[in-house]
Amino acid sequence: MTTEEVMKEMAAILDEVAGVSADQVAMGKSFVDDLDVDSLSMVEVVMAAEDKFGVKIPDEEVKNLRTVGDAVNFIIKSS
Amino acid sequence: MGAQPKVVITGVGLVTPLGHDVPTTWQAVLDGKSGVKALTQDWADDLSSKVAGQINLEITSVLDKTAARRMDRSTQLAMIAAKQAVSDADVANNVDSERLGVAFGTGIGGLSTVMEQMQILNERGPDRVNPLTVPMIMPNAAAAMIELEIGAKAGAHAPVSACATSAEAIAWGTSMIRDGRADVVVVGGTEAVINRLAMAAFSAMRAMSTRNDDPQTASRPYDLGRDGFVMSEGAGALVLERYEHALARKAHIYAEVAGFGMTSDAHHIAAPDPEGAGAARAMLAAVKDADANLTDVMHLNAHATSTPLGDIAEGAAVRRAFGSHTDSIAVTAPKSSIGHTLGGAGAIESILTVLSMVNKIIPATINVIDLDPKVNLDVVHGDHRSLTKGSILALNNSFGFGGHNVCVALRTI
């Protein structure tokens, strides 16, 4: 998948799970600081992304995924 | 007025099978409508009871989508009712958050979420279980979510006593104000367990109506043909407030919570005490707490769930408490219209009692075709009854499995 395709799906997940509107989602945005995604919602985002992209995102990896870009790059690398 | 603070009702909210707010529900009750319909879902095919009072409301039309997905349906309904009550009472105006409390319960809680997550656990494994499962299924979820929503910091409590739950919440809220812990308390209860397990489980107790061919008359308290209660979902919320506090901020006052009585039967886990001793003591305690005389009671909004034993036991309890004055108490059974909302019933029906007092009209119990003589009460049926006297004292009974008896005494201002 391309970066754009993964970004688009991530935006849809963030809207569904955490009520983040698509226009707020950008590679450099921090989940916690910019998008107000709390720890429980972050678990939901990770689970939804695993289902969507068929990847496994281990708990120890989640703490490294500070920004949307971190997550998108991890997904592209893993899929 | 005695030494303890007077507690009044300054806001109400309802979401029921009859309507998604207070005016719609009240009008439907006055119109003699039934909120009960056939259950047409596939999962209901092999159930013995296939009628229920369902709420057809697009939840996200009234609640934020992201907030709603963090709540079990029972909490969603609670939030809808609570927001109406808080708006009605204008709680945002001149209420100190540290003097604002919550007492809100549920009889069963997030059972539908438990069932969904159990299926995910079994089919997809432990790492697919929703991280919000615990805050969705805990019995205090509604109380906690309302507390968060309105910023209530005086305390949030979640009384649980089966079908007496939300009447008990009214008592808790009243106590919080009387004890000086709060000036304003949002109280009520909710239930949303129209699902395969709850329907099967109550049916296994032989507690539910099987009048599947005629849903609208399946809930028929006091009728000779009654064959069990009808499951419904719904929530009711009231804003209770210290009288002087309400006056100071010029809040609209519906009525006074004059008192309450709470007892337990110590008789059986599910069956009512046939002599109604515990229920009678609850009613007597409520009248005493209201600093009133037994002969002041003009109206009873009964628990009356449409079970063969329960309706008679409550009648016996009323007569045990009031003796010959029983014949002067006009009784109505709103579950004939709404069905049984379990943990929501006490609050929903207390609101209907208040509306009866304010509008001076007792709605008729519907579906009473042949009044059971064993009930031996003045059941308002056929036509509505006017309440003409100036000051009105009315009672609302709620009883729960486990032998919980709660009676709330309400009085016009």
At A38, which CATH number? 1.10.1200.10
- DSSP notation for B115-151: HHHHHHHHHH-GGGS-TTHHHHHSTTHHHHHHHHHHT
Asked if A32 has any chain B CB less than 8 Å from its own CB, the reply is no
pLDDT digits (tens, 9 = 90+) for B135-156: 999 999 999 999 999 999 999 9
% of chain B residues with pLDDT over 90: 96
CA-wise closest residue to B376 among B332, B334, B335, B326 = B326
Domain that holds residue A25: 3-78
Q: Are B387 and B362 in contact, with CB atoms under 8 Å apart?
A: yes
Q: What pLDDT shows up at residue B179?
A: 97
Interface with chain B: mutation pick from A36, A39, A47, highest number of B CBs within 10 Å: A47
Residue B2 scores a pLDDT above 60? no
Collapsed DSSP state (helix, strand, coil) of residue A72: helix
Please tell me the distance from the alpha carbon of residue B374 to that of residue B372, in angstroms, as a whole number: 5
pLDDT digits (tens, 9 = 90+) for A14-53: 999 999 999 999 999 999 999 999 999 999 999 999 999 9
Sort strands B184-191 and B100-106 into parallel, antiparallel or unpaired: parallel
Sort strands B37-38 and B51-53 into parallel, antiparallel or unpaired: antiparallel
Q: Are B306 and B211 in contact, with CB atoms under 8 Å apart?
A: no
Residue B9's pLDDT band (boundaries 50, 70, 90)? very high
CB contact under 8 A, A19 and B64: yes
Helices (H), B329-381: 335-338, 345-359
CB contact under 8 A, A40 and B66: no
CB contact under 8 A, B64 and A44: no
Please tell me the distance from the alpha carbon of residue B286 to that of residue B291, in angstroms, as a whole number: 9
For chain B, list the domains and their CATH numbers: 7-248 (3.40.47.10), 259-411 (3.40.47.10)
Q: State the average pLDDT over residues B309-319.
A: 96
Q: Are B239 and B91 in contact, with CB atoms under 8 Å apart?
A: yes
pLDDT digits (tens, 9 = 90+) for B229-246: 999 999 999 999 999 999
How does the average pLDDT of chain B come out, rounded? 97
**A15 to chain B: nearest residue by CA?**
B66
Contacts of residue A40 in chain B, CB cutoff 8 Å? 131-132, 135
pLDDT digits (tens, 9 = 90+) for B107-132: 999 999 999 999 999 999 999 999 99
Task: Provide the number of structural domains found in chain A.
Answer: 1
Q: What pLDDT shows up at residue B1?
A: 47
Neighbours of B173 (CB within 10 A): 28
Tokens linked to B211: 């009048």
